[in-house]
Amino acid sequence: MKRVSTLIALVAVWGVALEAVAAVPLAFEGQRLFASYCQLCHGTTGTGAGPLAEKMGITPADLTTTLRSRSDTILKKIITGQGRQTITGRDRHNLISEAMPEWKDVFNDHQVEALIAYLRFLSTSKHKLMGDPVVGNELYQQYCAVCHGEEGGGDGVMTKLMNIHPADHSNPNEMNELSNNQLVNIVRRGKGRYMPAWKDILSRDEIEALVSYIRLLGN
């Protein structure tokens, strides 16, 4: 009985701590920036089919393909509009499109890094975001972090108390092997001895939001 009481107390303290210090994945923060500033031109999926681009008669880059060969350093220059090529002297931000705005006075360095992390997700992930990752973040911290860890590394407080080894959601190779539907089914029905079923607690929309947040943890 004493062991159970101690376990409950530790979990309660852990829940309070999560609200205070839970780290926000860079790609998650970048997704929010992309939704606010970039998707009007580049489209929700980054392919360049945004409504503002159509109105302006411009053709933004398809970010799902053009970013794969570009380093983070070059992407920073493209986004901010700072720096020139050493040979031609041409502004690097114009390498992709003449209509690309300079964001140096809008984004700080951390925000640029977050945006690049999300762009990497767009260009490398096999799976689209199913739901709202903002909702998914709240649900993850409430229900999942106690086992999977606040950053998804499978190192939550319950792993030490119960000697369990949850999935590492921060490992993109491991997560990419699972389709969105497979992840949804694991969350709904549970898996193995320790992964509980959440179908009677979370709605389908909430589970899809949770899966979307999990996708961003590995980027």
> What value does the mean pLDDT take over residues 95-121?
87
- Residue 60 predicted with pLDDT over 80: yes
pLDDT for 84: 47
Q: What are phi and psi of 91, to 5 degrees?
A: -60, 130
pLDDT for 126: 85
Q: What percent of the chain has pLDDT over 90?
A: 59
Q: What percent of the chain has pLDDT over 70?
A: 82
Residue ranges and CATH numbers for the domains of the chain are 26-124 (1.10.760.10), 131-217 (1.10.760.10)
What is the C-alpha separation between 59 and 98, in angstroms, rounded?
A: 10
Q: Report pTM.
A: 0.78
Which tens digit of pLDDT belongs to each residue from 131-159? Answer: 999 999 999 999 999 999 999 999 999 99
**How many CA atoms, within 13 angstroms, populate the side-chain half-sphere of residue 151?**
12
What residue spans of 141-203 are helical by DSSP H?
A: 145-148, 157-162, 172-176, 180-189
The DSSP symbol for 67 reads T
Q: Which residues pair with 91 in a beta bridge?
A: 84
